Amino acid sequence: MDTHKKRYEVDLEKLEAYPVTKRGADLLRDPLLNKGTCFTLEERKVLKLHGLLPPRVLTMEEHLHRIRENYDRQPSKLDRFVFLEALHDRSETLFYRFLVDNLEELTPIVYTPTVGEACDKFGHLFQQSRGMYFSVSSQGHFRKMMDHWPQDDVEIIVITDGSRILGLGDLGANGMGIPIGKLALYIACAGIYPSKTLPIVLDVGTNNEKLLGDELYLGEKHRRLQGDDYYDLVQEFMLAAHDRWPNVLIQFEDFSNDHAFPLLHKYQSRYLCFNDDIQGTGAMVLAGLLAALRITGETLHDQQLVFLGAGAAAVGVADMIVAGMVAEGFTVEQARERFWFLDSKGLVTTTRGDTLAAHKIPYARKGACGNTLLDVVRNVKPKVLLGLSMQPGAFTEEVVREMHKQTEKPIIFALSNPTSKAECTAQQAYAWTDGSAIYASGSPFDPVECNGRTIIPGQANNMYIFPGVGLGVTISHSRRVTNSMFYAAAKRLSSLVTEETLLQGDLYPPLKDIRMLSAEIAAAVWETSVKEGLTSEPKPENVLQYIRERMYQPTYIPYKAV
């Protein structure tokens, strides 16, 4: 991978100056163009900036030094989040340069877990509007509203209805923090140009009593839209968005289970779209599982898997693992026989008596083997235990020790976000298995000292998958997003985990390499799109080089007046 310095070296004398139509204060107020005290003396002269800035011209490195000083001065993680968003609103280039240079440090601030707290307090922290809101009261006008967005070349939209924000539930319009955070990762991790992204909230109301009573809540104060009325509103949005930007990729994010699957099934064969909670999470967990099996020396066929949680994310994970088993020779039916799911009512079975949600039916067992997690673990003797339940502490010491009793190196993925929702901590998993567990979590945990060894817990973070998939889909001009693309992404990601990383206990490559990883995944997606006949864009001979050369680099470039 290129060194940090090489990634950002630009020969300014050879670089064609960017034409700018804005002047003076209008230019300084545009976060996409603003360079602040980095505007050169010549630029200040021709762009009418003289007198509007302190006289000294700074370098970007000096800018970054000042940002670091002020960032470190913030007293809490939430204060750091607010500081970074204020920077985001002033200068996109400086924000993304600071983020890319410090990705491992800043990701937990701009996204999970801190973004959860920021969403919870969104109306109280609000400073500058970003993105667009489509609400019930504006229904019937969505297409006209689309024209209010100034960018004509939007490539990626991340959209939420705020109904299932991380592990926090229904946050209504406060959920805007999620699309903003996801798109920040698209730009930092995959080099999507900031101007080509658009965060969106569908404000269909909220059933959160706290928000309905909050005088500073910024969404519409009514109960959530239900039934056909809800789907009609989504349909109007989809039609309007694709009329305004026919080739835009739409990523559904943090929709509740009752809507996530129906929306994906309705639109995935008609539009360029995917659901990150279902498909992205599935690919990310499959990649971690494939890496874990390199440690145990086993195959997917050897595994019996128990899931605590049977929502959209859990079933998305299972579907992706099933795809992996099918690729290794199983039928779909044979693969599904290796899975056991528990939800809030116990083991998911065909004979339980309640009405199962449609997405659970393919994994419902015909017979019982206990109704508690401990009973199922004892009877099934799984080698893999996955938690997507939002039940902190659900992987008890007794459950984890029972896993260890059944297999030498139990694979334990406690994936619920944020950290406070994890089914068990990394420290607990290692302590209860004498350091033998192969562990990953949804949010980051610090390294753990166990039996004289420093173990680095894996973080199964979707940012390993969705930015590269989005980059691959858009740069190849694919007409659809398919599950095969996510499977290819998982395979490529797992292949990039080094033996050294596995020996440390981590199942994913270092985040510092994320731009290289995203380019690799984009290449795998492009190859899949070609195989499936979904693009007429010819794949370059050196696809990785082609992709890397077209990724956004956050550095200041010279301007010229027009």
| Catalytic residue (one of 71, 96, 111, 556) | 111
Residue 123 token pair: 């109306």
| Catalytic residue (one of 35, 182, 383, 421) | 182
Identify the pLDDT of residue 444: 86
Percentage of the residues of the chain whose pLDDT score is greater than 90: 88
Identify the pLDDT of residue 1: 36
Dihedrals φ, ψ of 258, to 5°? -70, -15
Percentage of the residues of the chain whose pLDDT score is greater than 70: 97
Identify the pLDDT of residue 5: 39
Q: How far apart are CA 410 and CA 402, in angstroms?
A: 10
Q: How far apart are CA 509 and CA 479, in angstroms?
A: 30
pLDDT at 30 over 70: yes
Neighbours of 60 (CB within 10 A): 17
Question: Average pLDDT in the 466-487 region?
Answer: 97
pLDDT at 320 over 90: yes
- Are 473 and 529 within 8 A, CB to CB? yes
Most distant CA pair in the chain: distance in Å? 78
Dihedrals φ, ψ of 150, to 5°? -75, -15
> Which residue from 257, 246, 89, 276 is spatially nearest to 178, judged by alpha carbons?
276
pLDDT at 353 over 90: no
- Radius of gyration of the chain from Cα atoms? 24
Q: How far apart are CA 320 and CA 322, in angstroms?
A: 5
| Residue located via tokens 């109960």 | 223
- Are 404 and 433 within 8 A, CB to CB? yes
pLDDT at 558 over 60: yes
pLDDT at 13 over 70: no
Q: How far apart are CA 200 and CA 159, in angstroms?
A: 5
DSSP 46: H
Q: How far apart are CA 107 and CA 511, in angstroms?
A: 9
pLDDT at 17 over 50: yes
Structure confidence by residue, pLDDT tens digits, 409-432: 999 999 998 788 899 999 999 999
**Domain residue ranges in the chain:** 256-530
> Which residue from 4, 43, 15 is spatially nearest to 27, judged by alpha carbons?
43
- Are 202 and 160 within 8 A, CB to CB? yes
Active-site residue, 512 included: no
Identify the pLDDT of residue 8: 44
Is 103 exposed, middle or buried, given 0-12, 13-18 or 19+ CB atoms closer than 10 A? buried
Identify the pLDDT of residue 270: 95
> Which residue from 419, 541, 531, 536 is spatially nearest to 485, judged by alpha carbons?
531
Average pLDDT of every residue of the chain: 94
DSSP states of 302-313: G--EEEE--SHH
> Which residue from 424, 359, 337, 354 is spatially nearest to 386, judged by alpha carbons?
424
Identify the pLDDT of residue 285: 96
DSSP 435: T
Kindly indicate the confidence band of residue 12, based on its pLDDT and cuts at 50, 70 and 90.
very low
Identify the pLDDT of residue 2: 40
Residue 464 token pair: 């390993």
Kindly indicate the confidence band of residue 195, based on its pLDDT and cuts at 50, 70 and 90.
very high
Residue 459 token pair: 């973080």
Question: Average pLDDT in the 378-390 region?
Answer: 95
- Are 175 and 206 within 8 A, CB to CB? no
Q: Which helix (H) or strand (E) holds 493?
A: helix 483-495
- Are 351 and 368 within 8 A, CB to CB? yes
Peptide bond into 362 cis (omega under 30): no
Q: How far apart are CA 518 and CA 466, in angstroms?
A: 9
Domain 256-530 homologous superfamily, CATH:
NAD(P)-binding Rossmann-like Domain (3.40.50.720)
Residue 389 token pair: 């339940």
Least confident of 142-156, 275-289, 346-360, 468-482: 346-360
3-state helix, strand, coil in the chain (%, to 5): 50, 10, 40
User: Judging by DSSP bridges, how do beta strands 339-343 and 346-347 pair with one another?
Assistant: antiparallel
> Which residue from 417, 415, 411 is spatially nearest to 388, judged by alpha carbons?
415
Identify the pLDDT of residue 521: 98
| Paired residues of 249 in beta bridges | 156
Question: Average pLDDT in the 136-159 region?
Answer: 97
Question: Average pLDDT in the 552-556 region?
Answer: 95
Axis-axis angle for helices 281-296, 312-327 (nearest 10):
50
Kindly indicate the confidence band of residue 15, based on its pLDDT and cuts at 50, 70 and 90.
low
Active-site residue, 383 included: no
Question: Average pLDDT in the 393-407 region?
Answer: 96
Identify the pLDDT of residue 352: 80
Neighbours of 154 (CB within 10 A): 18
Structure confidence by residue, pLDDT tens digits, 118-129: 999 999 999 999
- Are 554 and 39 within 8 A, CB to CB? no
Identify the pLDDT of residue 16: 74
Neighbours of 102 (CB within 10 A): 16
pLDDT at 3 over 70: no
Q: Which helix (H) or strand (E) holds 133?
A: strand 132-135
5-21 b/e with 16+ CB inside 10 Å = b? eebeeeeeeeeeeeebe
